[in-house]
């Protein structure tokens, strides 16, 4: 017990250095506390004892060093990687302040390295060639494969050699449109090995979205597969790619090669649409190439990948990440936020089509020599116990997922979880949106048997890696709070005018100073990069998120404050959905808002005005939704189309979304002041049509 008390006492020290968490002892004594921010969950003594960071004190020391001496802190960590040439002499340089000129971040400039080498060859040279790098679990239970680090390197080299053979050179963009097959990770690592820039497009995007991304980065090569099975359905991806490529060709981007992996469990060769001369079967060419491939050494600031994400205007933004800083940052954040040890088996349910898959399926874990589970299928197929079946099958120790999945499994009942052992689990993780305290508790109590700390990691496509996250052994958690900043990260909360606010407060979340994993630009549009992220609050990076800080210094993310909707952890711009809707010949105008959704977090709610003479019908509703599916992808389809003879606008013509959000969520007594509307009657008309 005295040991236990010492543990409790150490946990009571605030990691922020601001004193003690005064109510901690009360919680330990089992007293009920009123509000969420007083709700503390401690890591067990056993967990903390073995953790990489085991107390608030240890965190604080490391954090303070990272802020006071960023160059020393990060160069020490970076030295654990292989650099062909070291940076000299500066570790980083930055200008985050638009008022002082062009915004620019550079880390380890002048050094040369290769992330694929560091993820594969370096681990093999350290004696881990025989360790499993990937356990691949197919859509159908029983369909599985594995690759050791040495085998993975061979496959990466074969593809790298093939890509070189067909003329892909350093700096060329390669678009990858693949589901969660091992070939997706192999493709990313092969591009990185030869210095090509990969642009992975989530395989749920439509042909139009894929075309848009191909055209923007002017690729000559697309890597895909013929089809994928998700749950009981097979989806013919190659057909989508064909349409996207014809679209790209029309726009002057003549994709000359479509390397297609034959995913035999989903579709036979004979049934695949094919264009001779342009299309090549992966299995026919790649295995013929040598299993060794010399590395292309690249500058730390050379681009590694592009990943498109939604913003508040219609055109997706090509977020560009470079090599050195991203490598050091993803590896370090992975190691500490999951308390990774060499014996761990790690599973992240994200798809490599999103940033989470880039940083925390592929690069972060492999750079740490981790064993990674890659899952092709759907988490509720063949039933809602699939995740825990996989956890038991591979003895998964670190499990990282999204709140939307937690909530959907929670709805199915505890039985699906408790029938599996799950004894291997050590740390759970959450990402994509704020996790509500009840989902947090279910995840903690039922999935983790009240034994596994939860790392609720707040970050973004732009940040490359975790920014605010628990270090699981280091301090008490509060369900729903992402807790404290990662090393080197200085989050601040600012008011409308951009003044930093201290202590207990709410406002806009910004970041002061650069960090190694930060994106460096928006591809081809540095001006938009500056305007979107650095001009709203001069002197800071603006995240687009609202945030509060409680009396103990814990950060609580409250969601987007711009026109971005977060549906099941997927970022969707209202403008993109509106532009897809108005492309429908019968749609005159559309306004899209997000409404709270029990499972998805938010869902898409669209107000649509039809052109003169057309009346609203079920057929039109369906075809409007189809327009969004075709232009963006099924995941962006509105849940509700609300027929709107008119939209609430100010006299200057600006749509008042505040009012639309209230109507959409049925909060009709909170509409606020409608007198500034050009035509206040519009509101009554919309309310009258709510149930149509």
Give the interface with ligand PRX as residue ranges (CB under 6 A). 309, 354-356, 430-434, 456-461, 482, 543-545, 557, 559-560, 566, 571
Least distance between ligand PRX and beta carbon 136 (Å): 23
Nearer of residues 241 and 320 to ligand PRX, judged by Cβ:
320
Question: Is 24 in contact with 447 (CB distance < 8 Å)?
Answer: no
CA distance 326 to 364: 9
Q: Which residues are the active-site residues?
A: 562
Rounded CA separation 6/155 (Å): 51
> What single DSSP character describes residue 649?
B
Q: How is residue 338 written in tokens?
A: 């999951």
Which of 158, 543 has the CB closer to ligand PRX?
543
- Tokens at 300, concatenated: 């730390």
The span from the CA of 662 to the CA of 641, in Å, is: 15
- By beta-carbon proximity to ligand PRX, the closer residue of 107 and 400 is 400
Q: Three-class SS string for 125-158?
A: HHHHCCCEEEEEECCCCCCEEEEEHHHHHHHHHH
What's the min distance (Å) between Cβ of 505 and ligand PRX?
18
Asked if residue 89 has a cis previous peptide bond (ω within 30° of 0), the answer is yes
Cis bond before residue 9 (omega within 30° of 0): no
> 654: which residues sit within 8 A by CB, 6+ positions away?
none
What CA–CA distance (Å, rounded) separates 280 from 349?
30
Q: Which two tokens stand for residue 11?
A: 């946990």
* Residue number, 296 or 545, with CB nearest to ligand PRX: 545
Give alpha helix (H) positions in 304-458.
324-337, 355-357, 364-367, 386-394, 403-412, 415-418, 437-442
Q: Token pair of 398, please?
A: 């670190």
Considering beta carbons, is residue 138 or 491 the nearer one to ligand PRX? 491
* Rounded-to-integer distance, Cα 14 and Cα 21, Å: 6
Identity of the residue, 533 or 607, whose beta carbon is nearer to ligand PRX in the bound complex? 533
Q: Least distance (Å) from ligand PRX to the CB of residue 446?
A: 20
- Cα dist from 445 to 11, 353, 410, 428, whole Å: 21, 31, 11, 11
Distance CA 509, CA 543 (A): 6
Alpha-carbon distance 536 to 547, whole Å?
A: 16
Residue 109 or 213: the one with the smaller Cβ distance to ligand PRX is: 213
């Amino acid at each position: 017990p005295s040991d236990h008390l010492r543990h409790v006492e150490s946990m009571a020290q605030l990691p922020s250095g601001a004193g003690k968490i005064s109510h901690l002892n009360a919680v330990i004594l089992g007293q009920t506390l009123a509000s969420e921010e007083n709700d503390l969950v401690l890591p067990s003594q056993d967990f903390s004892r073995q953790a990489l960071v085991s107390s608030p004190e240890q965190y604080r020391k490391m954090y303070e060093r990272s802020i006071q001496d960023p160059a020393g802190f990060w160069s020490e960590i970076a030295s654990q990687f292989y650099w062909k040439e070291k940076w000299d002499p500066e570790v980083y340089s930055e200008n985050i302040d638009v008022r002082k000129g062009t915004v620019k971040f550079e880390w380890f400039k002048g050094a040369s390295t290769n992330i694929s080498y560091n993820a594969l060859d370096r681990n093999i040279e350290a004696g881990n060639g025989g360790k499993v790098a990937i356990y691949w679990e197919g859509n159908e239970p029983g369909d599985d494969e594995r690759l050791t680090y040495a085998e993975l390197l061979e496959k990466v080299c074969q593809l790298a050699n093939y890509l070189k053979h067909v003329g892909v050179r350093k700096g060329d963009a390669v678009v990858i449109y693949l589901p969660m097959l091992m070939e997706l990770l192999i493709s990313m690592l092969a591009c990185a090995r030869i210095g090509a820039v990969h642009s992975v497009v989530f395989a749920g995007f439509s042909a139009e979205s894929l075309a848009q991304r191909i055209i923007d980065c002017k690729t000559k090569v697309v890597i895909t597969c013929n089809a994928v099975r998700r749950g009981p359905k097979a989806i013919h991806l190659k057909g989508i790619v064909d349409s996207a490529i014809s679209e790209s060709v029309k726009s002057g981007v003549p994709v000359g090669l479509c390397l297609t992996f034959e995913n035999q469990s989903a579709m036979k060769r004979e049934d695949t649409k094919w264009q001779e001369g342009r299309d090549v079967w992966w299995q026919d060419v790649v295995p013929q190439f040598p299993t060794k491939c010399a590395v292309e050494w690249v500058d730390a600031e050379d681009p590694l990948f592009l990943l498109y994400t939604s913003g508040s205007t219609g055109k997706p933004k090509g977020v560009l990440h470079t090599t050195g800083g991203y490598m050091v940052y993803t590896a370090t954040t992975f190691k500490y936020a999951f308390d990774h040890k060499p014996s761990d088996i790690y599973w992240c349910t994200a798809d490599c089509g999103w940033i989470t898959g880039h940083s925390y399926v592929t690069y972060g874990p492999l750079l740490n020599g981790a064993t990674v589970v890659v899952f092709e299928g759907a988490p509720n197929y063949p039933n809602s116990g699939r995740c825990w079946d996989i956890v038991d099958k591979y003895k998964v120790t670190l499990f990282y997922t999204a709140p939307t999945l937690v909530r959907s499994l929670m709805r199915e009942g505890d039985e699906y979880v408790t029938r599996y052992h799950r004894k291997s689990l050590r740390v759970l993780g959450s990402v994509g949106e704020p996790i509500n305290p009840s989902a947090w508790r279910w995840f903690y109590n039922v999935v983790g048997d009240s034994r596994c700390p939860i790392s609720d990691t707040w970050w973004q496509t732009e940040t490359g890696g975790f920014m605010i996250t628990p270090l699981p052994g280091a301090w008490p958690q509060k369900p729903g709070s992402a807790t404290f900043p990662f090393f080197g990260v200085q989050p601040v909360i600012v008011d409308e005018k951009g003044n930093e606010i201290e202590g207990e407060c709410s406002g806009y979340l910004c970041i002061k100073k650069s960090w190694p994993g930060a994106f460096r630009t928006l591809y081809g549009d540095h001006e938009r990069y500056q305007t979107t992220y650095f001009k709203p609050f001069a002197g800071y990076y603006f995240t687009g998120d609202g945030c509060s800080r409680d009396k103990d210094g814990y950060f609580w993310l409250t969601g987007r404050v711009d026109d971005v909707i977060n549906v099941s952890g997927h970022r969707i711009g209202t403008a993109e959905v509106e532009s897809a809707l108005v492309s429908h010949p019968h749609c005159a105008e559309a306004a899209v808002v997000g409404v709270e959704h029990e499972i998805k977090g938010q869902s898409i709610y669209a107000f649509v005005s039809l052109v003169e003479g057309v009346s609203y019908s079920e057929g039109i509703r369906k075809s409007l939704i189809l327009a969004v599916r075709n232009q963006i992808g099924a995941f962006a389809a509105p849940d509700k189309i609300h027929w709107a003879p008119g939209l609430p606008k100010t006299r200057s013509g600006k749509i008042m979304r505040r009012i639309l959000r209230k109507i959409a969520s049925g909060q009709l007594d909170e509409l606020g002041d409608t007198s500034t509307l050009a035509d206040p009657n519009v509101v009554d008309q919309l309310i009258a049509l709510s149930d149509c």
